[in-house]
Structures are given as C-alpha cells and as structure tokens.
Amino acid sequence: MKIIHAAMMLLLLALMTAISTTSADEQTYIVRMDKTKITNTYSSLVSSKKPWHQAVLDSLIDVSSMEATPPELLYSYTALSGFAAKLSSKQFESLKNMDGFISAVPNKMLSLHTTRSPLFLGLTGMKGEKGPWSGSNLHSDVIIGVVDSGIWPEHVSFQDHGLSPVPERWKGVCENGTRFSPSNCNKKLIGARYFYGGYIAAGGKINDTEEHKSARDVSGHGTHTASTAGGDIVENANIFGLANGTATGMRYTARIAAYKVCWPGCTSVDILAAMVKAIEDGVDVLTLSLGSESEAVPYWQDYLVIASYLAFKSGIFVAFSAGNSGPDAYTVVNTAPWIMTVAASTMDRSFVAIIELGNGETFEGSSFYTGKALKGLPIVYGKTAGDLGAEYCLSGSLDPKLVKGKIVICEQGIVRRTEKGEAVKSAGGAGILILSPKGEDLANEVHVLPDILLGAIASKAVIKYWNTTKAPTASIVFKGTMYGNQAPKVAAFSSRGPNLVGPDVIKPDITAPGVDILAAWPAETSPSRLKSDKRRVLFNIISGTSMSCPHVSGIAALIKSKHKDWSPAAIKSALMTTAYKLDNKGKPIADLAFYNSGSPFAIGSGHVDPIKATDPGLIYNITAEDYISYLCSLHYTDSQVSMFEEGYQCTPTELRMQPGDLNYPSFAVNFKQKARNVTFTYKRTVTNVGIPKSTYKVSVEVPKGVSVIVSPKVLSFTELNEELSYEVSFTGLSRNKKVAGSSFGSLVWVSGNYRVRSPIAVSWK
C-alpha cells in the first residue's frame, strides 16, 4: 500500500515472479462444490468417514495417475461447502467436469492497506452512565477478530487486568507456533491463529530468521490495528516524546482474537480460511485492514466478500479498509454493501517541521525527528546526484561525493520513504526533503535521519528555488507535536469512489482517523521497519486506511455493547446516519488532494461520531434476504447468487427490482449522459430506536441537475421499533456546464436533537 507498505508492490512483483516460476502447470484455487451431489457420487468413500472434499481430491489422483504431483489440500471451508487446493491443469479440468462442481477462483495476492483519537472522537470525558464508555457498556463481553499480520502478545496494550473470565461461548484457541504458545494468551487476547498455506502455495517463502511461523507479529501492522480497536489503557504512551498521552483502543475492554494471514504477502486463500475460522470461533466484530491493489471484481468472484456475507448472517459486524490508492476515482475496494468500508482522514494533531529556503521563503511540513535543527545547509536534488533511480533516492543510487553533508531532495515512489532516508544517510546526506506530487497530504513515517515531508504547493516552490538558484540552501526546524489544527481532512491517499462493482451504493461508507496514528508496536521491530535501524519503541506512528478501519471496528463494538440485539446492518446505519460533514471550525470537511470539500466519494456519509452513533434515533435495517434480493437486482445468474446462498433461484419480482431499492442509508443515483425528465423512485424503511412517540420532518439538500420529491414528508412514530417507509423520486433536469459528472446533496430526517442524515450522489454516465 502507498503509505504503510510502499515497498509492498516491489515485494509482490517478486512474489508473482516466483509464482510463475515455481510450477507453470500448478495453481491454487478456492473451490465450491454442491455437497449433496458430491456425497451421493462418492457415498462409498464418504461413508468410510473420509471427508467429502478429500474424496473429491482422491478421485483426481486416478484421472492424473501419470502425474508425479497429486492434488494438495490446503484448507477445508466447511461453512462454504468448499476447499482450497493446489491443482495441475489436468486435475483442474477434471474437477470442472465433475458432477457438483460450482466454481473455482484462483488464489489472489493482497496487501495490508492512539493517544489523540479517543479525545478527538469525543470519547474521553464520556464515562457517565449515558456515554459509550459507561461501566455497564464496557463490562459487556465483545470479541473483536483482527485478520492481519499477527500480534505481539506481551505488549502492555494487551494486558488483562480487571477483566472477567473468557466468555464460555468462545470456541477459539491460541495455537502453538514459533515463539508462541497458549500461555501467551490471557483474558484480553483470547485467540491467536495463523494461516500460511496459500502464501506458500503461491511461491512465498517464510524466512525463519526474520519471520515467525506463528501468530506472533513481526511487521507491526497487526499489533497496531489490534490495539487501536481494542487495546487496553496505557498512560504516557509516546514515540521519542512525541504524541504523549494515554493510549487506548476504541473499545478498550474488548477481547481480541488475532488471525495472522500476512507473511509479508497476504493471499485470498489464507484470508478466507481465517475469516471462516473466526466465524466458527464466535467473534462479534471482524476488522480487516487489507485488500486488493487492483480494481474491485464482481461480488460473486470475491471470496472475501462471500465470507463477509456469511459473517453478516452470523450477526458479525465486518469492517474493511477502503484502500490507499487515492486520490484517483474508482479506486475504492471492499465495496459490498454488507461491509463497512472505511476511508482515512486527519485529526487536529500534527508533527510540524518548518523549512526556510535561502531566499527567505518558509513552508510548513511534517517530521517525527526530535533532534537539533539543520541550519543553512546546501540542497541537492537526488536526480542530479547519482545514477538511475537517484530521483527516488533508491539504495545505492546516490553519489556520496555529491550528497555528503547536504539536504537531499527525493521524489516519492518505487520504495518506502524510510528506505529513501536510509539511502540518503548511507551516502552521507545530512537530511532528506521528500516531495509530494499532488495534494497536501503530510502523512509521514519515522526516518533514520532528519527529514521533512512537504505538500505539493511547497514542493513546487522548492523545485523552482532549486532550479533558479546557483547555490541553494535551506534550514529546517523541528517543532514536535502541535494541536489545534483544522480537522478532519480526508487524506489524499485514501481510495475514492464511485463504486465500480455496485454503482448504486456509495462507497466508501464513512471516514475515521487514519493519519499519524500512535498505537502499539512489537518490541523487536524498529519504528522504520528497517534492519539497519536499531531503535526500539513501545508505540509507533503510521498512517493509512488500515489505521482508520480499526477505529470504526472498535466503535462498532461499543455500539454492540449498548445495543446487544442490533443487527450488523443496524450498527452500520447508526454509524453512517450520525456521521458529520463539518470540521472543528464549522467548515465542510476538506479534501487534501483537490483543495476543496470532500465529496461522498471520498468521505462517504462523513466522519464517524461514536457519541451520536449510540443513539441515532432511526436506523435503516437490512436482512440477509434483502442482500440476496439486491444481488438478483444486479442481474447475477442463479449460479452466481448461489455463491452466497447455495441453490438459490432469483424470483421474477427480485429480477425486476432496482438495485437502488436496497434499504441502504445513502442514495446513489445514476443517469445516462443525456438523461432528461427521467425519474428514479427509491423506497426506504426506517425503524424508530429513539423516543417512542416522535415525529420526524424531512429536509433535503438537493444536488445540482435533479429535482427531488420525498413522500411522505413527515414520519410520525407511536412506539419503539415501529417501522415506517417513504419514497424518494429523483428526476434528471436539463444538463448545463455548471453540473459536473457528479453532484451531491443529502436527505435528513429531523426530530428534536436527532438528525438522521443520508448523503446523495447523483452521477451522469
């Protein structure tokens, strides 16, 4: 990913090369079968107590008896009536011709995509009986499953002081492995599993000197996300004195179950196995800060989407990161409507460094460096100070004679920014200045030398100064932690909509803190994750939608504590309809990429508000049956819908439905380019969870280019849990040049202090 694992792309390229060279005739597949047909066909084998999937694979040995390599079973997915196996092309063709075969999807490589955030979110100081951090809420057992790179179990964030015994309903275990045993778990960390079969089958290697074949985390990513969602309270948390304060997870008394799937590569086969096992173990919330770097695929082809649907059916709230491929449009991933898709934004805290150029111009950037200022040093542009790749400050590309004692300008790309800093330091550079090609995103990393990251405006000024000055110089002063910034602002790296797979559902759903997040870190991993860096920290600061996702997961756990009977859809609705779109200065949430306000394609419904989400007034509930009808409305075939519900056949009524009729808490309306006087009418049903006798009146911010009619305009409830419906009609008007490809607005139901808001996105295709 661009922010946390920029080097991941190089690693994945190497892995894909390994995949193509390990065995040209073998591939790993996730296979779905009709279990009824299989057990009938192989009744003799199954009756001998052999698992049905093993009977299927054994039959392939017969048809490929001349082959040296028999089919290899990696995982059995009981809940899916499927399995993962490594097959030759001949074995695969035989499998496809087998009675009961449904589908086979190739293994896919994916990547990994807090002292201030509780205060910024309004959680601190809310420990009264009515707040989400009230004693009655926090004493309720909620289990958060973290599918990631593992966990560092000894970290103080995972201590279990004051926690009650592990819930009897819990079916998970803590698996033995390298430097990990059941004794590493406690009443806080109640489960730890690891999955690597798909990674190895894809040609990946696990270096025992650098990685642990267990749930123990080496990357740091999983430890960081787990503590953000449910880590315990830790006083005086900081990194090098920066961001000092009390670190705590969003639901700090939650139980945590860690499922390690990233080694450093993550495969869909392993992630699916972990999700299925988490469902069986009994988690309440699943948080996954990972996803594809490529375009999203149809829902029926994405097994993580299918597993998320099964989790939803089991009452589990599922949150995924939106991805770090912004700010381009159509880059958001993990977009199924039953998934909470989380974007990333800033908080009101920054880590300021000031650069003064030799001509007197000054610019503000970011840095985690805490040493002395750099004064009046010469500047050199990397691309003029070395060989091929020197503009990116790649390892070995810089000429020490040209950079020694200087501040080196480096462009972003190819490798992680910390690796650029390592290259500059190795060549004798005194500091590094990193340019931003677009936007004012200042999400930095912990470097091994003095550094400053600049936004695009300052970057252009620096290059202009360097190009027009014979002997350019600069000074950099490091200001440390600063508070009171205008916030939130959506990060430039955060992936954007529209939703490529389901354009009738706005994605992402919501935004949350994801820039410069301080959270737990493994004791043996450097803050820069460089081998040459011998520093060790208890907490580290990193950025990405990987960091925003566990914030929302932890808040969902808080809501589940207060409303134990709410469905995952109800919790999601509460989070979305109470999200805010104005920052702490009363201005629309800004977009750091485009110098304007963030649209629903960047921030979804807005920024998460955990206080209001616990008491939303109304909710938009959705059942599993509703989601299946939605898939039918997308004109998926019966066999494609059967990937979610085995043997399902869409009814004529479902096939005539509009995708926009899904009872979603937002509205995405799509017109053809020249549409005029075309009307779409969508129905919604809301459930009263606020005050028994209450009346809501509608208020509409009408998007440009359409007219909007709501009927009825008033909803009067007489009791709790009462359901009332309304319809919204969107009519396309005559287009004009002032209306861009999309326009935005909102629909709000207002009653007293309740404001139940749904964003509207109107697009012309």
Mapped onto helix, strand or coil, the DSSP state of residue 482 is strand
Task: State the Cα–Cα distance between residues 220 and 764, nearest whole angstrom.
Answer: 43
Q: Which of 34, 148, 217, 609 is catalytic?
A: 148
**Pick from 190, 200, 201: which is nearest to 146 by CA?**
190
Residue 488: cis peptide before it, omega within 30 degrees of 0:
yes
Instruction: Return the residue matching tokens 């019966």.
Output: 638
Tell me how far apart the terminal alpha carbons of the chain are, to the nearest angstrom.
29
Q: Which of 5, 53, 221, 563 is catalytic?
A: 221
Task: State the Cα–Cα distance between residues 691 and 27, nearest whole angstrom.
Answer: 57
Task: State the Cα–Cα distance between residues 722 and 718, nearest whole angstrom.
Answer: 7
**Pick from 483, 551, 476: which is nearest to 513 by CA?**
551
Cβ partners under 8 Å of residue 608, min gap 6: 121, 510, 511, 512, 551, 552, 555, 575, 579
Helix extents (H) in 233-387: 268-281, 303-313
Mapped onto helix, strand or coil, the DSSP state of residue 21 is helix
Output the six-digit token pair for 108.
């896919």
Mapped onto helix, strand or coil, the DSSP state of residue 609 is coil
Torsional sign, CA 292, 293, 294, 296: positive
Mapped onto helix, strand or coil, the DSSP state of residue 27 is strand
Counting runs of H as helices and runs of E as strands, what totals does the chain give? 21, 37
Q: What is the 3-state secondary structure (H, E, C) of 167-194?
A: CCCCCCCECCECCECHHHCCCCEEEEEE
Output the six-digit token pair for 650.
């869409």
Output the six-digit token pair for 115.
């002292």
Task: State the Cα–Cα distance between residues 445 and 544, nearest whole angstrom.
Answer: 11
**Pick from 276, 281, 103, 283: which is nearest to 646 by CA?**
103
- DSSP states along 346-378: --SEEEEEEEEETTS-EEEEE----SPPEEEEE
Instruction: Return the residue matching tokens 């989070």.
Output: 575
Active site residue 148: yes
Helix extents (H) in 669-724: none
Cα 724 to chain centroid distance, Å, stands at 33
Mapped onto helix, strand or coil, the DSSP state of residue 525 is coil
Q: Which of 214, 367, 546, 763 is catalytic?
A: 546
Output the six-digit token pair for 659.
């995708």
Rg (CA), the chain: 26
Answer whether 308's CB lies under 8 Å from 649's CB: no
Active site residue 546: yes
Helix extents (H) in 124-257: 135-138, 197-201, 221-230
Q: How many residues does the chain have?
A: 765
Mapped onto helix, strand or coil, the DSSP state of residue 122 is coil
Element (DSSP H or E) covering residue 143: strand 143-148
Task: State the Cα–Cα distance between residues 645 and 633, nearest whole angstrom.
Answer: 15
Task: State the Cα–Cα distance between residues 759 and 765, nearest whole angstrom.
Answer: 19
Output the six-digit token pair for 598.
């963030």
Task: State the Cα–Cα distance between residues 747 and 35, nearest whole angstrom.
Answer: 46
Cβ partners under 8 Å of residue 656, min gap 6: none
Which stretches does DSSP call E strand in 346-471? 349-357, 362-366, 374-381, 407-410, 431-434, 451-453
Active site residue 221: yes
Q: What share of the chain is helix, strand, coil (3-state, %, to 5)?
A: 25, 30, 45
**Pick from 565, 454, 103, 78: which is nearest to 300 by CA?**
103
Active site residue ranges: 148, 221, 546
